[in-house]
């Protein structure tokens, strides 16, 4: 064999080895999006809204896998311990960043065990009373709560849920005390509000828009700096007389730590492409949410800021770590 023939043969062998070693294009099998909460809630609804266009665009199934329990930590832990290959993802929200302040010990490290992909969407939270409630304005509730500490009660989807922590943040800011009534999910709490079993409920617009529009509950204020597009007649917290409370209900996607950067990049590109389609934006807007699709580094910085936000609220509200 001549030197030229040997070099050609070597080059062919190396090319063959490189092609063999090159991983198949991602994704080439079903992808699980774990939602750490029960079906029917805002996380679940928005995860399914995203899974559909991702499945259509890639030709592989993006499957929503509900793993509820322990304030979202069970499903979150499942992703933390999953292979870092991009085929098990976490579709999460505010409890992800609240959990370190609410639980004495977590089975995972919130900052080290996950790779941010993107913030998917944001929406306002709505402070509501029942349709037959005597309270017509936010200030009516705050005045009654101040005059009769602990008499008024508020519902939540459970201890350590977003409504629990955010309502306590509101109470701290307003200098009032209300009694917490936890339910097994936001749905039962919303039913209790309609039935007059609880006085107030502070929940995502994506869960409550329907019953608000049907007149079954009354919205008193939204938590974002601007009024909600789907509830233009409902004032912001500041307009209702309570400044300095701005809370956005967000949902986002994370992968296990050590997921290859090229896979994270591919995921980010697929998700942002789905979120920029007019059909997907319209579906999210229909439930009061706005699509985002920020860069992984931006989402990671947001997560760090939220992790720093909640310990003070939990401590001052004297919420006992679980």
Residue pLDDT, tens place only, 110-123: 999 999 999 999 99
Residue 169 shares a structural domain with residue 117:
no
Alpha carbon distance, N-terminus to C-terminus of the chain: 74
Residue 58 shares a structural domain with residue 104:
yes
Residue 229 lies in a domain: no
In 3D space, the residue among 187, 207, 188 whose CA is nearest the CA of residue 125 turns out to be 207
For 46-64, the pLDDT digits (tens) are 999 999 999 999 999 999 9
For 234-281, the pLDDT digits (tens) are 999 999 999 888 899 999 999 999 999 999 999 999 999 999 999 999
Residue 197 lies in a domain: yes
Tell whether pTM > 0.75: yes
Residue 115 shares a structural domain with residue 253:
yes
Residue 11: per-residue pLDDT: 52
Residue 322: per-residue pLDDT: 66
Residue 217 shares a structural domain with residue 269:
no
Domain that holds residue 273: 31-122+248-316
The b-or-e profile of 250-285 (16+ CB within 10 A means b, else e) is: bbbbbbbeebeeebbebbbebbbebbeeeebbebbe
Q: Is 63 helix (H, G, I), strand (E, B) or coil?
A: strand
Which of 50-64, 137-151, 172-186 is the least confident region? 172-186
Residue 153 lies in a domain: yes
Mean pLDDT of 155-170: 91
Residue 72 shares a structural domain with residue 131:
no
Residue 110 shares a structural domain with residue 155:
no
**CATH value at residue 307:** 3.40.190.150
Which of 209-218, 249-258, 296-305, 313-322 is the least confident region? 313-322
Whether 17 shows a pLDDT value over 50: the answer reads no
**CATH value at residue 201:** 3.40.190.10
- Would you call the peptide bond into 45 cis, given omega within 30 degrees of 0 as the criterion? no
Residue 177 shares a structural domain with residue 36:
no
Residue 187: per-residue pLDDT: 87
To which H or E segment does residue 124 belong? strand 114-130
**Mean pLDDT, all residues of the chain:** 91
How many Cα neighbours within 13 Å face the side chain of 154?
27
Residue 101 shares a structural domain with residue 161:
no
Q: How many structural domains does the chain have?
A: 2
Which of 90-99, 156-165, 271-280, 313-322 is the least confident region? 313-322
Evaluate whether 290 touches 107 at the Cβ level (below 8 Å).
Answer: no
């Amino acid at each position: 064999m001549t030197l030229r023939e040997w070099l050609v043969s070597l080059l062919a062998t190396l090319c063959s080895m490189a092609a063999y070693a090159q991983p198949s294009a991602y994704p080439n099998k079903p992808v699980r999006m774990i939602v750490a909460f029960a079906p029917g809630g805002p996380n679940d609804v928005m995860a399914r809204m995203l899974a559909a266009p991702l499945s259509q665009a890639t030709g592989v199934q993006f499957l929503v896998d509900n793993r509820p329990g322990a304030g979202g930590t069970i499903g979150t832990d499942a992703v933390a311990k999953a292979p870092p290959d991009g085929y098990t993802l976490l579709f999460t929200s505010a409890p992800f960043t609240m959990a370190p302040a609410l639980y004495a010990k977590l089975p995972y490290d919130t900052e080290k065990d996950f790779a941010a992909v993107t913030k998917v969407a944001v929406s306002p939270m709505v402070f509501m009373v029942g349709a037959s409630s005597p309270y017509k304005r936010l200030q009516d509730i705050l005045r009654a709560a101040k005059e009769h500490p602990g008499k008024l009660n508020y519902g939540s989807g459970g201890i350590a849920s977003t409504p629990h922590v955010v309502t306590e943040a509101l109470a701290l800011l307003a200098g009032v005390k209300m009694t917490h009534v936890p339910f097994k999910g936001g749905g039962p709490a919303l039913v209790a509000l309609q039935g007059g079993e609880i006085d107030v409920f502070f929940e995502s617009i994506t869960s409550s828009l329907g019953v608000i529009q049907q007149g079954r509950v009354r919205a008193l204020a939204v938590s974002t700096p601007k009024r909600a597009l789907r509830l233009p007649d409902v004032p912001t917290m500041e307009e209702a007389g309570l400044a300095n409370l701005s809370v956005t209900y967000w949902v986002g996607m994370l992968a296990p730590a050590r997921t290859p950067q090229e896979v994270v990049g591919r995921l980010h590109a697929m998700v942002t492409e789905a979120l920029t389609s007019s059909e997907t934006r319209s579906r999210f807007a229909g439930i009061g949410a706005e699509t985002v699709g920020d860069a992984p580094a931006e989402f990671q910085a947001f997560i760090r800021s939220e992790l720093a936000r909640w310990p003070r609220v939990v401590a001052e509200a004297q919420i006992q770590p679980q």
